[in-house]
Amino acid sequence: MTYAVKEIFRTLQGEGANTGRVAVFCRFTGCNLWSGREQDRAKALCRFCDTEFLGGDTFADAGVLATAIEECWGDERRRRFVVFTGGEPLLQLDKSLLDAVRERSVYIAVETNGTIAASENINWLCVSPKAATEVVQRKGDELKLVFPQAGLSPEQVAHWDFDRFYLQPKHDRFLSQNTAAAIQYCLEHPQWALSIQTHKIIGVP
């Protein structure tokens, strides 16, 4: 299988439970909720995506891509942490790639919209559900809900089988109001914690 990848880069994880952790991100192209083209945003299932996931490179097989990911770590062999994201990574992330990356002593995290079932060979699974979609992956390590979302409230997903629950303020022109609303909800519902996109504040990818 070939893999279409927008970018591979080393940075700090900016949000959720692993905030601040050094990670290599592998961002796949393609998503099943939006084409990535602005002219299609108005009719997309997910209309507030703030990520560019078009273009990039094609990797011939799992070994080639795993090597490219490994090279981002250089000589460092401890605490290797890789985040597969997108787009929607589970459109491409298969057993061959998971095995090839795991052979290189890597702790694997995946950020998904939950509409595709995830492999059990993932160390850390973060699901970020979107309104008007059929979420089949209702268990994992971390549920991260962009807030607020018309048609999807925290109450609708609070019973799902996750270890941690986060509200992440929607990053739009109402960010300050969204943040205040998320803070208030967390104060009133301690099951939820606040996730801030710290990478946007400190200026890293």
**Annotated catalytic sites, by residue?**
25, 31, 46, 49-51, 111, 199
**SS3 per residue for 30-57:** CCCCCCCCHHHHHHCCCCCCCCCCCCCE
Residues with Cβ within 8 Å of residue 38, at least 6 apart in sequence: none
Q: What is the residue type of 183? A: I
**Contact (CB, 8 A) for 8 and 68:** yes
Across the strands, what pairs with 57?
Answer: 5
Residue corresponding to tokens 């080393």: 10
In whole angstroms, how far apart are CA 205 and each of 8, 13, 41, 61, 84? 11, 9, 23, 26, 14
In whole angstroms, how far apart are CA 178 and each of 72, 148, 158, 198? 35, 7, 19, 15
**Contact (CB, 8 A) for 183 and 192:** no
Cα 172 from chain centroid? 18
